[in-house]
Chain A
Amino acid sequence: MLDHAALAWLLPKTGRHHHKQGRTNAPVFGIETDMAGGGSFDTFPKLLLRNAAQFSTRPAFRLKELGIWQSWTWAQVAEIVRAYAAGLHRLGLQPGDTIAVVGSNRPKLYWTMMAAQTLRAIPVPVYSDAVADELAFVLAHAEAKLVAAQDQEQVDKVLSVSDRLPQLDKIVYDETRGLDSYDHCRSIAIGKVIEDGRAALAGDAALSERIDEFVRAGNGSDIAVILYTSGTTGASKGVMLSTRGCIDAATDTTRFDGLTYDDVVLAYLPLAWVGDHYLNYVQGIIAGFCTACPESSDTIEQDRHEIGPTFYFAPPRGFEAMLTRLMIRMEDAAPIKRRTFKYFLEVARRYGEQVSSGKSVPLSGRLLYALGRFLVYEPLKNVLGLSRVRVAYTAGEAIGPDLFAFYRSIGLNLKQLYGQTEAFLYVTCQPDSQIYSDTVGPAAPNVDIRITESSEVQFHSPGMFIGYFKDQAKTAEVMTPDGYVKTGDAGFLDEKTGHLKIIDRAKDVGKLADGTMFAPKYLENKLKFFPNIREAVTFGDSKEFVCAMLNIDPIAVANWAERNNVAYGSYQELAGHPLVYEMVAKDVAAVNRSLAQEKMLAGAQIRRFVILHKELDADDGELTRTQKVRRRFIAERYAPLLTALYDGSYEADISTEVTFEDGRKGTIAARVKIRDMQVTNGAKPRGKAA
C-alpha cells in the first residue's frame, strides 16, 4: 500500500539537491517526485499507518515520567491509537462529532487527536490555562460531545461548567491522580478506554473491520481540526481546517526546511495554538519525526537540554527570557569567565552572521570565531539546549534586532515566519540564505500574497481555512470574493529584499490629532526591546500626543534592584520606585530618539508614561492567551490613568479587580506616578504645559 516514489523526499538527503524556481523565487530543496500534498496519503490515519510501516521502530513520542524518558515507536503509537479509536467508538464518538482536548503537551492528548481523526471525528484543542468561562464558551460553541482532559484540574474545570454543556457526554482523562473517587459513569481514564478498545478489537472482528472502514472512508475534504483563535479581537472563533489543506501546507514546509524522521522537537507550546498543532503534530506525522513532551511546564529548560531538539520554535519573548536568564547568570560568573564571554560575544557580533552565511571574512576573524565557538558559543548553546537545532523559528511578534542578531551570531539558524491560524500557519518564511531581523520573509512555498491599497496583507495558501465554525458572517468578512484571506495586518513589501514587513494590525494604525501616523504596536515593540520593560501599551489615536503604560520586567528589574541595594516588598512597590522610574525614563528617551530619525513617526514620540502597579495578565483579560495586549480593554480598565495621562496630573489613583488562578477575585489599589518626557528634535513641542 505504500507509495515509495512519493516517499522519496522523506528519506535522507541523497545529494541530488537542486534549486527549483518556485512561485516565490525561493530556492526549494527537494526531489523531483511531487507529493502534491501527500500523494495517496490524504488523511492523518493513513499517514499514521504509513509511519507505522515505514518508521516502525523509530521513536514517535517521548515523555519524561518519574524522571525517565519513556518512548513510543510509530508502530506502538499506531496500535495504541487504533485501540483508543475503538474505545472512543464504543463510547459513542461518531464521524463529524467534536471532541475537545484540554491540557498540556502529553502523548495521550496527541493520540486523542489521532484517534478522533481515525473515526473521522473532529478534535478541538482548547487552551489549558483558559478559565472556566472561556472553556465553557469553546466547549459549548464547538458542541463537544467528549472532552479529553489532562488531569484533575482540567476535569474539575469541565465539571464546574457542565450544566452549560448539554451536548457533553463523557470526560476522558490522562492522569488519574485524585480522580479515583469521581463518578466513573461520567469520567473515564484514557488508559481504560484504550484497554477497553484493545480488548474489544481482539474479540470482535466486526469492530476491527468498522475501524478499518473509517480509515478507508476518510478523505482530504474531511475537517481535520477546529482551532479556536486566541481572541485578540473579541470572542474566539473556531477555524475549520481541511485534512487536505493541513497535509499540503505541512508537506511544503517540511520540505522547505528539510525535516526528516531524524528530527526531534520538544512540544511545549499550547496544544490549542496553531503553532503547536502545525509544527509538532502535523509536521511530526508527515515527516515522521519524534515529538518529546516535557515532564511539566516548570522543567522545560532541563528537558530541552536533555532532548536536544533539532527543530525549535519560540515566540520572541521566549528567546528574550532565555537571554535575560543567561545574562543574569553570567553576572554571577567569575570575572575571567565574564571577560571571555564579553570578548567573544563581540567577536560573534562582528563576524558571526557572515561566517554562518558563508560570506568572506578575514582569516583573523575566522580564527577568532572558531576559538569563540569552542570556548563560548557551543557551551552556551549546550546550556540552552540548542546545540542540535538545525532550524529555529520565531514569530507572533516583532523580534528585537539585537536579540535576533545575538542568536544568529552564536550560530543558531534562527529565522522568522509570519502566519496565522486561518492560513494554517505559514504565510511567509525566511529561506536559509535570506535572513533579516526586520522582515518576515517572502511568501512561503505555494502561497500567494498581495498588499491592498490600504496596505492590508492578503494571502491565498494551500492550508487556508474552510471557514469559521458556525459563523458564515465572520467567514464572509475575512474571505475576499476571489478566494484570498484578509489578515487584518498592515504591511508592505520591502523594496530591497522583496520580503514582507509587518507594521501593525491594520485597524490599530491610527492618527494623532495633527494627522501624524500612530502605529501603537510599532512603538510598543520598540519599548519592549529594552530588557527592563516587559509590556507596553501606547495610546494616541485622535489625541494630541502619545502616552504609554508600561510593565517592568520583574526578573530583570528585581536583579537590578538587588545589585543596587534597592529595597522593596512587592511588585507594586518595585514598579513605583523613583529609581526604577528614572531607569525606565532613559529607555523611553532612547525610543524617542530613534523615532526622531523616522520621517513618518517623528511626531509620535512618547510624551508621558506611567508604570503600572500590576502585571498585565491574561486571567484578567488584559492579554490574550497568546500574550498580546488588548489595548481597548486596557484603556477602559485603566480609564482613570488614561485620563490623568492626558489632563496633566502627576499622580492618579487606580483600583483594579484581579482574578487569581483558582478563579477567585480580589482588588489591588494603588496611587501611581506619571512621568513627563522630553521629545527630541523634529517633533513640535507639546501644546499645553502640564
Chain B
Amino acid sequence: MRAPDTNEILLHVEGVALAFGGVRALRDVSFNVRKGEIRAIIGPNGAGKTSMLNVVNGFYHPDSGTITFKGRTRTRMQPFEAARGGIARTFQNVALFKGMSALDNIMAGRTLKVRRGLLWQMLRYGPALAEELEHRRRVEEIIDFLEIEAIRKVPVGRLPYGLQKRVELGRALAMEPDLLLLDEPMAGMNLEEKEDMSRFIVDVNNHYGTTIALIEHDMAVVMDLSDRVAVLDHGVKIADGTPDEVKKSQAVIDAYLGVSH
C-alpha cells in the first residue's frame, strides 16, 4: 500500500539558519521531503540534526529561511500548529507520560482528533462515548500493529527503553500524521531492538503510506531504511542523495572518520 512515488514535495526547507548566541547550529540548510518517502538526516554528534527537526515542527524559530509544508510557506510556526497541520514526532529521550499506561499514552495522541468538547467528554455518554470508542478502535489497531498488546495497561515508566520508544511511535501514529519526524529512533537500543524498530518504520511507511523523516546517528541502520539521505556536519549540509551516493561522498567519509590535519 506504499504511497506512489510521486515527486510531489511535502516539505521544503529553504536556506534555514539558526544560532544560539555565538553557536551557529544551522547554516543555510536546504532540503526537501517527498510525499511517501523515508528521508533520513544524518550527521555526527552536534551536527545540528535535532535543531533541524525542531525547526521543522516549530520548537525553534529559524533566524532566516523558510519552511514550506503542504504548499504553505511560513517562517514561524508554533508546535501545536505543526501538530494540527499533520506533523507528528518522537523524541530522542522519550517524552511520554510515565505514570500513564501505554494505552492512555497512545490515546493522548488522538487528542487533536477529538471533536466533542470537554464537557461531553466528561459525561462520556451518547455521542461522546461513540466517539471515544472509535478513537479506541484506532488506537487498538496501532497497538496490534506495533505488537504491544501485552503492555497495553502497564505504566510506561515501568517498561524497558525499547518498548517505551515503541509506545512513543504509537502515540505519534495515533495522530495519523502526514509527516512523521523521528528523532534518533534507534538510540540506545540493542541490535534486536534496532531491527524491530527498523521493521516497524518500514511497515509504517508501507502500510499507512506515512512520509517519514528521521534523524539518526547510526549510519548503517539509515542506509538500509531510507530512500534519500541528507548529511549535516557542523550545521552545514555536506551531502544529499540516495544512500549509495552518500556513502561514496568524500565529504561524508571525512566528517565521520575525521581528516588528518
Contacts and interface: CB of A to CB of B under 8 A. Distances in A.
B194 interface: no
A659 to B, nearest CB: 14
The bracket for how many chain A residues form the interface is 10 to 19
Contacts of B140: 66-68
| Chain A interface main SS type | loop
A66 B141 contact: yes
Interface string B121-155: 00000000000000011001101110101101100
Interface string A61-80: 00001111000000000000
Interface string B151-163: 0110000000000
Contacts of B137: 66
Nearest to B153: A302
A66 B144 contact: yes
B149 A295 contact: yes
Interface in A463-497: none
Contacts of A66: 137, 140-141, 143-144
Contacts of A299: 149-150
Contacts of B153: 302
Interface string B10-43: 0000000000000000000000000000000000
B96 to A, nearest CB: 20
Interface string A43-72: 000000000000000000000011110000
B203 interface: yes
B1 interface: yes
Contacts of A295: 149
Interface in A268-299: 295-296, 298-299
A180 B144 CA distance: 17
B1 A298 contact: no
A234 interface: no
B150 A180 contact: no
B144 A178 contact: no
B149 A180 contact: no
Nearest to A65: B144
A367 to B, nearest CB: 37
Nearest to B103: A67
A177 B136 CA distance: 20
B147 A180 contact: no
Contacts of B144: 65-66
Nearest to B140: A66
A68 B149 CA distance: 11
Contacts of B203: 178
Nearest to B138: A66
A180 B1 contact: yes
B135 to A, nearest CB: 13
Given A66-B137, A178-B203, A180-B1, A298 B143 contact: no
Interface residues of B, number: 16
Given A178-B203, A180-B1, A298 B150 contact: yes
Q: Which of B140, B141, B150 has the most CB of A within 10 A?
A: B150
B159 to A, nearest CB: 13
A296 B152 contact: no
B161 to A, nearest CB: 16
Interface in A148-207: 177-178, 180
A302 B150 contact: yes
A67 B143 contact: yes
B143 A296 contact: no
A302 B152 CA distance: 11
Nearest to A302: B150
Contacts of B143: 66-67
Interface string B94-133: 0000000000000000000000000000000000000000
B27 to A, nearest CB: 42
Interface in B167-214: 203, 206-207
Nearest to B152: A67
A180 B153 CA distance: 31
Contacts of B207: 177-178
A300 B45 CA distance: 43
B1 A296 contact: no
A68 B137 CA distance: 10
A678 B143 CA distance: 54
Nearest to B143: A67
Contacts of A296: 147, 149-150
A303 to B, nearest CB: 9
Nearest to A298: B150
Nearest to A64: B149
A13 B108 CA distance: 51
Contacts of B147: 296
Nearest to A66: B140
Nearest to B137: A66
A298 B143 CA distance: 13
Contacts of A180: 1
Contacts of B206: 178
Contacts of A298: 149-150
A290 to B, nearest CB: 21
A114 B93 CA distance: 50
Contacts of B1: 180
A296 B144 CA distance: 10
A299 B153 CA distance: 11
A530 B153 CA distance: 32
Q: Which of A66, A178, A180 has the most CB of B within 10 A?
A: A66
A394 B143 CA distance: 34
Nearest to B142: A66
Interface string A295-335: 11011001000000000000000000000000000000000
A180 B136 CA distance: 25
B8 to A, nearest CB: 22
B9 to A, nearest CB: 26
B71 to A, nearest CB: 30
Nearest to A175: B144
B7 to A, nearest CB: 22
A180 B209 CA distance: 14
Nearest to B151: A298
Q: Which of B140, B145, B149 has the most CB of A within 10 A?
A: B149
Contacts of B145: 177
B203 to A, nearest CB: 7
A67 B140 CA distance: 6
A299 B141 CA distance: 16
A354 to B, nearest CB: 39
B207 to A, nearest CB: 8
Nearest to B203: A178
Given A180-B1, A299-B149, 14 more contacts: A66-B137, A66-B140, A66-B141, A67-B140, A67-B143, A67-B149, A67-B152, A178-B203, A178-B207, A295-B149, A296-B149, A296-B150, A298-B150, A302-B153
Top 8 closest A-B pairs, CB basis?
Answer: A298-B150, A66-B140, A67-B140, A299-B150, A295-B149, A296-B149, A299-B149, A66-B144
28 contacts: A65-B144, A66-B137, A66-B140, A66-B141, A66-B143, A66-B144, A67-B136, A67-B140, A67-B143, A67-B149, A67-B152, A68-B140, A177-B145, A177-B207, A178-B203, A178-B206, A178-B207, A180-B1, A295-B149, A296-B147, A296-B149, A296-B150, A298-B149, A298-B150, A299-B149, A299-B150, A302-B150, A302-B153
